[in-house]
Amino acid sequence: MLPKTEAWQHSNHESQSTRHACEAAIANPVEAAMKIRLVRVPRRPAWPAWAVVLVGAWLGVVALATWLSARSGQEVTLCLFKLATGKPCATCGATRGVLAALGGHIRGAWTYNPLVFTILAVAAGLLAMRVIFARSLRLGLTRRERRLAWALAIAALAANWAYVIVYVG
Ligand SMILES: [Zn+2]
């Protein structure tokens, strides 16, 4: 923890360097580059209570559907999109994948929904880094890079959804 004045100077310096980076980006878009910083954070993430309750409730519903599926021998889907259209949504397969992962089939889990599992793996890695080292990554993107990141994210989402529709069902 930095003393107050030092912390202020630090953040002031940072905003200046961000501004310089932006000015550089405008002047020369090719030279602008993504900045990745490792910052010190509290070890325990401050998750809001509603998020914890929501995830807990979701896990309860998933457990119920899994139990019903096992009992009836038929797959019970929780997906409203799939119930309405008969086609899987972009995150379909994630629950089956988590169950496969819990059973030790990591590669099998990934094939259920590659995008969701890649995101989960990155999130788990970041959480582990936070709990162990009290550090977190901060990405500094220029406006151009942010637009590119959005385009890539949308393309990845579309490709993943097509994959899930064709191969997972
Ligand atoms: Zn779905």
- How far away, in angstroms, is 148 Cα from ligand 1 center? 27
pLDDT band at 7 (very low <50, low <70, confident <90, very high): very low
pLDDT reading at 76 higher than 90: no
CA of 64 to the centre of ligand 1 (A): 16
pLDDT, residue 20, reads 57
Q: What is the pLDDT of residue 26?
A: 55
Asked, for residue 129, whether it belongs to a domain, the answer is yes
The reply to whether 3 falls in a domain is no
CA of 95 to the centre of ligand 1 (A): 9
Query: What confidence category does residue 15 fall into, taking pLDDT thresholds of 50, 70 and 90?
Result: low
For residue 126, how far is its CA from the centre of ligand 1 (angstroms)?
A: 26
Element (H, E) at 154: helix 143-163
Residues 96-118, mean pLDDT to the nearest whole number: 88
In whole angstroms, give the CA distance from residue 139 to residue 34. 7
Residue 160, pLDDT above cutoff 90? yes
42 belongs to a structural domain: no
How confident is the model at residue 1, as a pLDDT?
A: 45
Asked whether the predicted pLDDT for residue 132 surpasses 90, the reply is yes
pLDDT at 154 over 90: yes
CA of 123 to the centre of ligand 1 (A): 21
Range of 116's domain?
50-168
Is position 161 within any domain? Answer: yes
- Is 26 part of a structural domain of the chain? no
Distance 115 CA to ligand 1 centre (A): 13
In sequence order, the 6+-apart residues with CB closer than 8 A to the CB of 78 are 61, 62, 65, 95
How far is 57 from 47, CA to CA, in rounded Å? 15
- What total number of domains does the chain contain? 1
Element (H, E) at 35: strand 35-40
User: Ligand 1 centre and the CA of 93: distance in Å?
Assistant: 7
pLDDT of residue 142: 92
- Does residue 82 lie within any of the structural domains? yes
Neighbours of 109 (CB within 10 A): 24
Q: Confidence band (pLDDT; 50, 70, 90) for 2?
A: very low
Question: How far apart are the C-alpha atoms of 135 and 116, rounded to whole Å?
Answer: 24
Q: What span, in angstroms and rounded, lies between the C-alpha atoms of 65 and 42?
A: 36
Residue 24 within any structural domain of the chain? no
Is position 33 within any domain? no
Dist. CA 40 → ligand 1 center (Å): 37
Tokens 């070890």, located at residue: 43
Ligand 1 centroid, distance to 51 Cα (angstroms): 20
Q: Is the confidence at residue 42, as pLDDT, over 80?
A: yes
